[in-house]
Structure 1
Amino acid sequence: MVAALLGFSTQAAVVSESVSYRVDGQEFKGYLAFDDSQTSPRPGVLVVHEWWGLNDYIRGRAEMLAELGYVALALDMYGDGKEASHPAEAGEFAKASLASLPLAERRFNAAREQLARHPLVAGSPIAAIGYCYGGGVVLHMARNGAPLAAVASFHGSLTPKTTPLPADSKTRIAVFNGAADPLVPADQVAAFQQEMETAGADYLLVNYPGALHAFTNPDADRVPAEFKMPVGYDQAADLDSWSQLQTFLQETFE
């Protein structure tokens, strides 16, 4: 199981499968994971990938959510299951996917609707989590009023893509940020806090001292040596943010 690569136990009866769906005539390839030993409806959680695309790391996170009892769908924001192997290619994919925000929203919502139709979700609430690029996506969907019980961003951009969170938003928000991340500087974090306070949001912000961008991804340590980018894995921040996410989701779905 992919989750084993991340160093977490895999005791639940998790099954996984690829799912295909279409948006504006293009095929998208997601990854669904759930515990098939449970038969009762349960909440769903969407997982939005980093700018690298829907790779084994994100599939592993979906499996870890399934082990917690959720139905998890790692969605495809690029189409055709595309994955990048070089930052230049990843940047091109990410930029193209966000060139039209209405199109990006349709891609996200198509996956959300796919998850909502799953028999084991069956009208249960849905949350979304995202990493790096995906963190910015889930925050945008919360600000845009998508029907999500909660969103959680891990080392994602905090700047609104359009308008800030409205005061009537019912979506709970969690942000796990690396305090040493040059891609999310302190003024961006402060502006996010002000946005949340102005909206009266139910939010959690955790800033990990010394943590860089991509701190949850064990493969991030390869990137600085290969591409000279300011990223890196931080095991303590990774484990703590995952633990806090579990509590956050439990409280949300109670």
Structure 2
Amino acid sequence: MGKLTFYSSFLITTLLLSHSNLHAEIKSETIKYEVGGQPFQGTLSYDDSIKGKRPGVLVVHEWWGHNAYANKRAEMLAKLGYTAFALDMYGTGKVADHPEDAKKFMEATLADMKVAEARFNAALKLLQQQSTVEAGKIAAIGYCFGGGLVLHMAKVNPDLAGVVSYHGALGIAANTQPVSKPVKTKIMVFNGADDPFITQEQIAAFKQDMKSIGADYEFIDYPGVKHGFTNPEADAFAKRFNMPLAYNEKADKDSWEKTQMFFKKIFK
């Protein structure tokens, strides 16, 4: 009887834990929307076991387009208790598997910053309208192309509580005029010191720009770290296309930990 009682208790406990884990499973939903008559498709992720509203975070993809990596980051944010939306800046189906296509998609998007802003803001509004989101507490994170874009949006959209850029293209926001000074949006930048796409001149210009607009920002430079350091697929891309990319686990984990602290601060 003792063994049977123990087994029954163990089985009940296991079933309860399994039920609890199932209940807390992260929900990810594909959301289709339109901007300027063009179709777009993003992914919304959240923890349905959390009751009530919570802060929302937009995830802006690398130059490859809205892909599995962007969705993964949205799921990671959902596990932290946020509602995250991995948006689409290029349009439905425009996901590159070659640098030449990625460059074309990115350049076409950045050719008219008003169009780029409209696409970002449409996703922002969509996120704010979700029943799980506290509309007044929104942040954005971005990688590569996306990192540069969120830096641009920090200057022109005061509705953003904060933005985080990972190996972002600093040049995208270089000439952006802020809607007001000082800029209210708090800014965090993670950069690889050995990233050949980001020059020392660009970094100096960025810091001077932040100072001139009165931005509350932090710039973290990781010694010996290359472009794409947060993406585990960076090494495969580097080998396949002979590009100066490299994943760096230490920098990836450190930047993510600092991002979590940043969000706790801005979402108080």
* TM-score normalised by structure 1 residue count: 0.93
Residue of structure 2 equivalent to 1:64: 76
Residue of structure 1 equivalent to 2:197: 183
Asked whether 1:28 is paired with 2:40, we answer yes
1:161 deviates by: 4.9
Residue of structure 1 equivalent to 2:224: 210
Task: Determine helix, strand or coil for the equivalent of 1:80.
Answer: coil
Asked whether 1:219 is paired with 2:261, we answer no
1:162 deviates by: 3.2
Which of these residues, 184, 194, 211, is aligned with residue 170 of structure 1? Answer: 184
1:158 deviates by: 1.5
Task: Determine helix, strand or coil for the equivalent of 1:113.
Answer: helix
Q: How many residues align?
A: 245
Deviations, residues 182-227 of structure 1 (Å, cap 9, x unaligned)? 1011121111111112222111111000110100000000122111
The structure-2 alpha-carbon separation of the partners of 1:239 and 1:12, relative to structure 1 and needing over 3 Å to count, comes to farther
The RMSD of aligned alpha carbons is 1.6
Residue of structure 2 equivalent to 1:235: 249
Asked whether 1:138 is paired with 2:153, we answer no
Gaps of 5+ in 1: 1-10
Letter in 1 for 2:255: S
Kept in 2, the 8 Å contact 1:30–1:81? The answer is: no
Kept in 2, the 8 Å contact 1:42–1:124? The answer is: no
User: What is the distance in 2 between the residues matched to 1:81 and 1:129?
Assistant: 22
Kept in 1, the 8 Å contact 2:41–2:91? The answer is: yes
Task: Determine helix, strand or coil for the equivalent of 1:29.
Answer: strand
Kept in 1, the 8 Å contact 2:56–2:134? The answer is: no
User: What is the distance in 2 between the residues matched to 1:175 and 1:155?
Assistant: 8
User: What is the distance in 1 between the residues matched to 2:182 and 2:24?
Assistant: 38
1:117 deviates by: 0.3
| Larger fraction in helix | 2
Letter in 2 for 1:176: F
The structure-2 alpha-carbon separation of the partners of 1:63 and 1:151, relative to structure 1 and needing over 3 Å to count, comes to same
Residue of structure 1 equivalent to 2:265: 251
Letter in 2 for 1:125: K
Deviations, residues 69-121 of structure 1 (Å, cap 9, x unaligned)? 00000000001142100000100011111111111110000000000000111
Which of these residues, 46, 65, 69, is aligned with residue 58 of structure 2? Answer: 46
Asked whether 1:108 is paired with 2:120, we answer yes
Residue of structure 1 equivalent to 2:160: 148
Percent identity over paired residues = 52
Residue of structure 2 equivalent to 1:193: 207
Which 10-residue stretch deviates more, 240-249 or 196-205? 196-205
Letter in 2 for 1:250: K
* TM-score normalised by structure 2 residue count: 0.88
Residue of structure 2 equivalent to 1:126: 138
